[in-house]
Amino acid sequence: MQKMGFTLCSSSELSYPSLESLKNAKANPVASKSFTRAGGYIKKHYFLSSYSDARKLVISSHLVPGHLEGSFMGKKRQMEPRKKLEFVRTLLIDNYDSYTYNIYQELSVINGVPPVVVRNDELTWKDIYRLLYEDGAFDNIVISPGPGSPTCPADIGVCRQLLLECWDIPILGVCLGHQALGYAHDAQIIHASEPIHGRLSEIEHNGCNLFANIPSGRNSRFKVVRYHSLVIDAESLPKDLIPIAWTASDDTLSFLETQKFDAIPDAYESERQKANFDSFSAKNGSYWGHVNGTKSRKVVMGIRHATWPHYGVQFHPESVATTYGRQIFKNFREITKDYWLQTSSSFSSDRNIHYTASMQVPHATGLFGAVHRQSVKKADFRVNGEACSSGQFMRGANQRNLGFFDMVNILPPSLGAKFLRLKWRKFGHLASEVGGARNIFTELFGKNKAENTFWLDSSSTEKGRARFSFMGGKGGDLWKQLTFRLSEESDTAGERGGHLLIEDNKGFTCSKILEEGFFEYLNKELLSLYHEEKDYEGLPFDFYGGFIGYIGYNLKVECGAASNAHKSTTPDACFFFADNLVVIDHHTNDVYVLSLQEGNTTKTQWLDDTEKKLVSLKGSATRQLHERISKPVANSPREAGFLSEKSQKQYVSDVEKCLEYIKDGESYELCLTTQFRKFIGEVDPLRLYLHLREKNPAPYASWLNFSKENLCICSSSPERFLQLDRNGILEAKPIKGTIARGTTPEKDERLKLQLQYSEKDQAENLMIVDLLRNDLGRVCEPGTVHVPHLMEVESYATVHTMVSTIRGKKQSNVSAVDCVKAAFPGGSMTGAPKLRSMELLDSIESCSRGIYSGSIGFFSYNQTFDLNIVIRTVVIHENEATIGAGGAIVALSDPEKEYEEMVLKTRAPANAVMEF
């Protein structure tokens, strides 16, 4: 990812006293990094002169640190009556993590107002100082998790300075933020005995305020999710930092293991048990227990400053599988309220003035609430080198809260608007009478090699996985094809423009340079379409016409990725605007035909013609539909005649490289992929797809034929990326964890259970669930993101897979395209944290993923969409078939087994090509 360099301001640039001293960083005990890091650290804190009295109170305090809990007010201030804050305003520092918006969602609900998210290199210390001290805009600070190490300035940006100099503001650091708190006060950061990612531990604590009303110790139901490779060395903790929590034992648990002991995470419980604290022993910062009669070293899981209101937790309270995580954030809210209740009268009163002004919207429910806009004065400062008032910055924060991209203008454009009318007809129970979806598609759209046709094919509908299929071809007056290619400059940081070719229904073409990228163009196109809801009343599905096609993986540069290391040979996005389509309801066997036209028109010719064709199919419905092919089955793509981009030896070596990055804290999980290629010459790609869907039916399968590009996509994807329905509900269904089907019912059930209870696969799945919760959390109403189904095993023709479901309520101010930009590419194909992981994968993988790892689906004219993840897919481009495959590399991965799992995922599409 592209980050601003970490620089130190000279004293002349600041409106407060200069730093006492600057000192270079001490030697880093952590392994050297692959990234270039800026040097120079602030080693000592300084105090603002206006708060010198408070500083004296801290230094002269006679209170025992263990009982101080960050409150250092004198008697006079304590006696003055104060009113507790009704709302708590949080500055949330994002360390380029993929879990930050899970914290955002929690704090939005708990604090009563959404926090403002600022990346760790987005503002200078001078900017933040003005927000905190001159404008009094925030009551506390939360520092997010993130990749890397606090010993690297580029990884934590301004966080270290905040921890050293904001001694009078409550701060909570999570994971990397926790380590940064330790490192800022000279504690050593070292490698953990083993990386722990997506696994749970039981926690002991000392009963301090941060853990109020939370049980402690083994079998206490307090179990937390850990994502870290580095830890604070307990032996190096200075006297200023007090350990408050640590692991109860050396053992880690998978999520399902915690269910055996009735440990229910926040997502599944509302009641809280009262604390029942276990005893503990401490000596020089080292914590020891006895497990099965043997001495066991415990890992520090929480610290606090002896006199400042600063806290850190190594684990992730925001994870869906952490128990009592919400209680920790509630406790920090109460710590903040109590702190400001007891603070000095002059400073408290000044903050309350701004606090009162900011509370014009007492119950902010959206990301774009006006509550931020009045939180600060109009002090001028600079953001990324551009002059900006603090009021402008706070307004801009509403957009930055979506993540690492700029929101496009969601107001309808004044020019180029179209008013669309939909006409449709329903034919009850017709599908089975005319031979089903396959027969309908081949007869209506399969002529002339099915050129310029599409088919979103729910070929696997059992257990309610999918219900509708959408199909069509080159249509009426509104039909057009969009073909987008990123510019050469998109291979470098900060560039995302490209070239768009538009072809209309008469074959005329025009081209455009899209400086702001494809997503913004698509968004503006959709927002220029007007309609009446009554036109589609009574239809049970959410696609009534609009854009249908694919988004290639390289469009990640429009969603926050810094660059693309490899250029795709296929277009980076290709879409039809479908104005005529046929829809099949697989639950009821009903068939619908839809026609979309501009303005008020009485034309029904396409509807009439299609109805006649459907009726005529009844006579041919009994003919043989399937070709029986009895060629031998290949166990690998190589046996099927495919050539791999990488040998087994190289792939295993790449897995080992991923494990090194994970060990050094650069990533929690890396989804490593490769490509297989085979020249197939002139073939009938539709017949190949029909064979693939028969051999490997899938709920999110699809066929796309862009004949002008000599490009056909035959997908048997079992994975939904993201869906937005007409009620504004967003849903993601990531797959992580795959195992082959067994040859007998007994072996098959044994393999299914093996997947279900695999600690490695559960860790993979949990990490991606938390990532997707984060991505949905950027665009959903606070408190609405939830996980109704966690780690459920689904069975398909050739594999068992572990699937989870995440849902949330979209904010009304956010467009459909904004939702996709917040989450693309799908986290199951990148790993976490997403941005750093994509950067690492670009450096390891040897070619572009192209369409693989992207998404296929639709954007309806009424702002709904449904997109898959492009896996288990054959891409046929210029007479060459390619298949992409890969797998998530986590700390528990075995390199040889990772190669075997990757090959397993290619078998169904590779065999379909070989047999055909």
Compute the half-sphere exposure of residue 33: CA atoms within 13 Å on the CB side of its CA: 20
- Identified catalytic residue from 228, 316, 586, 691: 316
Distances (CA, A) of 248 to 280, 301, 555, 558: 10, 10, 45, 44
- DSSP H helical ranges for 715-797: 745-756, 759-777
Measured CA to CA in angstroms, residue 25 lies from 18, 43, 190 at distances of 19, 8, 15
Query: Is 310 one of the annotated active-site residues of the chain?
Result: no
Spatial separation of the C-alpha atoms in residues 423 and 427, rounded to whole Å: 14
How far is residue 75's CA from residue 281's CA, in Å, rounded to a whole number? 33
Verify whether residue 175 is a known catalytic residue. yes
- Which residue, among 212, 302, 198, 210, has the nearest Cα to 248 in the 3D structure? 302
Q: What is the 3-state secondary structure (H, E, C) of 499-562?
A: EEEEEECCCCEEEEEECCCHHHHHHHHHHCEECCHHHHCCCCCCCCCEEEEEECHHHHHHCCCC
The neighbour count for residue 680, using CB atoms within 10 Å, is: 16
Distances, alpha carbon 287 to alpha carbons 92, 281, 282, 300, 689, in Å: 31, 6, 5, 8, 61
Distance from C-alpha of 199 to C-alpha of 17, rounded to nearest angstrom: 45
Q: Is 67 among the catalytic positions?
A: no
Peptide bond into 833 cis (omega under 30): yes
Q: Is 297 helix (H, G, I), strand (E, B) or coil?
A: strand
Exposed e or buried b for every residue in 627-656, given b needs 16+ CB within 10 A?
eeeeeeebebbeebbbebbbebeebbebbe
Catalytic residue among 152, 159, 166, 175: 175
Going from the C-alpha of 729 to that of each of 201, 725, 786, 808, the distances in angstroms are: 33, 6, 11, 6
CB 318 within 8 A of CB 325: yes
Angle in degrees, 0-180, between the axes of helices 759-777 and 100-111, rounded to the nearest 10: 60
Q: Is residue 515 within 8 Å of residue 497, measured between CB atoms?
A: yes
- In the chain, count of helices (H) and strands (E)? 22, 38
Q: What are the b/e assignments for 205-222, b being 16+ CB within 10 Å?
A: bbbbbbbeebbbbeebbb
Task: Give the burial string for 869-885 (b: 16+ CB within 10 Å, else e).
Answer: bbbbbbbbbeeebbbbb
Residues written for the chain: 916
Active-site residue (options: 318, 666, 764, 845): 318
The residues annotated with a catalytic role in the active site are 175, 316, 318
